[in-house]
Amino acid sequence: MREDFGFEIDRAFDLLPHVIGSSWAVIWFRVNKIRSPTREEYRNKVVEYFKMLDNLIDSFPKSAEFDEMIAFVKKRQKIEIEKILAGKNLEVEKRFDRYVDYG
Protein backbone atom coordinates (compact mmCIF):
# COMPACT_ATOMS: atom_id res chain seq x y z
CA MET A 1 0.00 0.00 0.00
CA ARG A 2 1.26 3.44 -0.84
CA GLU A 3 2.39 5.59 2.07
CA ASP A 4 0.01 8.42 1.13
CA PHE A 5 -2.95 6.01 1.35
CA GLY A 6 -1.97 5.13 4.92
CA PHE A 7 -1.64 8.81 5.77
CA GLU A 8 -5.13 9.61 4.47
CA ILE A 9 -6.67 6.62 6.24
CA ASP A 10 -4.99 7.58 9.52
CA ARG A 11 -6.29 11.16 9.23
CA ALA A 12 -9.80 9.86 8.61
CA PHE A 13 -9.60 7.62 11.70
CA ASP A 14 -8.39 10.56 13.76
CA LEU A 15 -11.68 12.31 13.00
CA LEU A 16 -14.32 9.68 12.38
CA PRO A 17 -14.81 8.41 15.96
CA HIS A 18 -15.85 11.77 17.34
CA VAL A 19 -17.25 13.40 14.22
CA ILE A 20 -19.43 10.48 13.20
CA GLY A 21 -19.62 8.21 16.25
CA SER A 22 -20.03 10.88 18.94
CA SER A 23 -22.18 13.23 16.91
CA TRP A 24 -24.67 10.53 16.01
CA ALA A 25 -24.59 9.12 19.55
CA VAL A 26 -25.45 12.55 20.97
CA ILE A 27 -28.36 12.88 18.56
CA TRP A 28 -29.61 9.43 19.57
CA PHE A 29 -29.45 10.29 23.29
CA ARG A 30 -31.18 13.66 22.71
CA VAL A 31 -34.00 12.14 20.66
CA ASN A 32 -34.50 9.52 23.36
CA LYS A 33 -34.37 12.19 26.09
CA ILE A 34 -31.48 10.51 27.89
CA ARG A 35 -29.62 13.40 29.48
CA SER A 36 -27.19 11.46 31.66
CA PRO A 37 -26.00 8.26 30.04
CA THR A 38 -23.15 6.47 31.71
CA ARG A 39 -19.75 6.70 30.05
CA GLU A 40 -20.05 3.04 29.14
CA GLU A 41 -23.47 3.56 27.52
CA TYR A 42 -22.11 6.54 25.59
CA ARG A 43 -18.99 4.72 24.43
CA ASN A 44 -21.04 1.71 23.32
CA LYS A 45 -23.38 3.95 21.32
CA VAL A 46 -20.39 5.71 19.71
CA VAL A 47 -18.98 2.31 18.71
CA GLU A 48 -22.38 1.23 17.38
CA TYR A 49 -22.45 4.20 14.99
CA PHE A 50 -18.73 3.97 14.24
CA LYS A 51 -19.19 0.35 13.15
CA MET A 52 -21.55 1.56 10.44
CA LEU A 53 -18.37 2.35 8.55
CA ASP A 54 -18.25 -1.39 7.84
CA ASN A 55 -20.57 -0.72 4.91
CA LEU A 56 -18.11 1.80 3.52
CA ILE A 57 -15.19 -0.58 3.97
CA ASP A 58 -17.17 -3.37 2.31
CA SER A 59 -17.83 -1.13 -0.68
CA PHE A 60 -14.19 -1.27 -1.80
CA PRO A 61 -13.61 -3.58 -4.77
CA LYS A 62 -12.66 -7.13 -3.91
CA SER A 63 -9.40 -7.14 -5.82
CA ALA A 64 -5.71 -7.59 -5.16
CA GLU A 65 -5.14 -3.84 -5.54
CA PHE A 66 -7.39 -3.13 -2.57
CA ASP A 67 -6.58 -6.11 -0.31
CA GLU A 68 -3.76 -4.43 1.61
CA MET A 69 -5.67 -1.20 2.05
CA ILE A 70 -8.80 -3.02 3.26
CA ALA A 71 -6.74 -4.97 5.79
CA PHE A 72 -5.14 -1.73 7.00
CA VAL A 73 -8.52 -0.01 7.35
CA LYS A 74 -10.02 -2.94 9.27
CA LYS A 75 -7.02 -3.07 11.61
CA ARG A 76 -7.19 0.68 12.21
CA GLN A 77 -10.93 0.50 12.87
CA LYS A 78 -10.41 -2.29 15.42
CA ILE A 79 -7.78 -0.22 17.22
CA GLU A 80 -10.09 2.81 17.33
CA ILE A 81 -12.95 0.75 18.73
CA GLU A 82 -10.69 -0.59 21.47
CA LYS A 83 -9.58 2.98 22.30
CA ILE A 84 -13.16 4.23 22.45
CA LEU A 85 -14.30 1.41 24.75
CA ALA A 86 -11.27 1.88 27.00
CA GLY A 87 -11.84 5.63 27.29
CA LYS A 88 -8.58 6.41 25.50
CA ASN A 89 -10.05 8.47 22.67
CA LEU A 90 -9.81 11.92 24.23
CA GLU A 91 -12.10 13.59 21.67
CA VAL A 92 -14.88 11.09 22.37
CA GLU A 93 -14.41 11.64 26.10
CA LYS A 94 -14.62 15.41 25.62
CA ARG A 95 -17.83 15.00 23.66
CA PHE A 96 -19.31 12.89 26.47
CA ASP A 97 -18.40 15.51 29.08
CA ARG A 98 -19.86 18.28 26.95
CA TYR A 99 -23.11 16.38 26.42
CA VAL A 100 -23.56 15.51 30.08
CA ASP A 101 -22.63 19.04 31.21
CA TYR A 102 -24.58 21.03 28.60
CA GLY A 103 -26.92 18.49 26.97
Model's pTM, two decimal places? 0.90
Average pLDDT over residues 2-22: 88
Provide the CB-side half-sphere exposure for 50 (13 A, CA).
Answer: 30
- State pLDDT tens for residues 15-32: 999 999 999 999 999 999
Which residues are CB-contacts of 68 (< 8 A; sequence separation ≥ 6)? 1
| Owning domain of residue 73 | 3-102
Q: What is the DSSP string of 54-80?
A: HHHHHTS--SHHHHHHHHHHHHHHHHH
Q: How many domains does the chain have?
A: 1
Which residues are CB-contacts of 48 (< 8 A; sequence separation ≥ 6)? 25
